[in-house]
Amino acid sequence: MRFEVNISILFKEHPFAERFAAAKDAGFSAVEFWWPSGENLGEIEAAIESSGVEVALFNFDAGDMAAGDRGLAGDPERYERFLENVPAALELAEKIGCRKLNALVGHELPGRREEQLELAAQNVRYAAGEAEKRGIGLTVEAVNTFENGAFLLHTTAQGMEFVRRVGRENVGFQYDVYHMQRMEGNLIANLRANIAGISHVQIADSPDRREPGTGEINFARVLAELEAAGYKGHVGLEYNPTGEDTLASLDWIPGASRSGDADLNSLGL
């Protein structure tokens, strides 16, 4: 099992371009991030190269996340912004060697759910076709509605059905343990039932989205189940650190398990 850190939510003690090196200094060989709105992409490319970290995944443009946006692909009024971002995101992915991008489909509008799902599928299908030409895969994820509003996909079943609707071999489901615990629980049963379609995993503890060990999820069991099921992808740490101290929030994962294959028995869970 390989852990990596989402530097859009961790290492906020540093300017964004410096977080790649901070993650490396903390012992991680890989990172992920949300679409870096407002950042200089050339500076990001340089920061990634100088730090030597792998980028396991990043998001397509999801709109103004700070203002509450959670994706554009299913938005009838703004989906063109998603389409415009596709070539830019794929170009960045190629330059930094990232082989996986995540697409957020956005919020449901009253009375327009089916229309939006079809629109989102059409747009993700287009992005997948462009990504396939470059040997890049895509993921879509389900997100909890408690903190994120009426997100179109908010259960494992909905996410997996959407992947089937898109119908492209290079599109998989991103299983976010935190979001799915908030929405439906039954983590191990759902992982067992859907592992073949899961291409990326993210974790945070519930209900406060803090580091593992601070909430109700039995991560020792969940991670052991992932490993037993043969999951070979990265596990992204996507949580808000307790006390806003990233390094302190990593005490549960010893340095030797932060880079390469982790020894689950060594984790403080």
216 in active site: no
C-beta separation of 37 from 14 below 8 A: no
C-beta separation of 24 from 51 below 8 A: yes
Query: Of the listed 141, 161, 211, 244, which one is catalytic?
Result: 141
3-state secondary structure (DSSP) of residue 52: coil
What per-residue string of b and e applies to 56-67 under the rule 16 or more CB within 10 Å gives b?
bbbbbbbbebee
In sequence order, what E strands does 53-136 have? 54-59, 100-103
Residue in the block written with tokens 């939006």? 116
227 in active site: no
Q: In 3D, which of 201, 228, 206, 202 has the Cα closest to residue 217?
A: 206
C-beta separation of 239 from 178 below 8 A: yes
DSSP secondary structure, 206-256, as one string: TTTTBSTTSSS--HHHHHHHHHHTT--SEEEE--PPGGG-TTGGGTTS-GG
Query: Of the listed 4, 54, 211, 238, which one is catalytic?
Result: 238
Distance in angstroms (rounded) separating the CA atoms of residues 62 and 49: 25
Distance in angstroms (rounded) separating the CA atoms of residues 37 and 144: 23
Residues that are catalytic: 141, 238
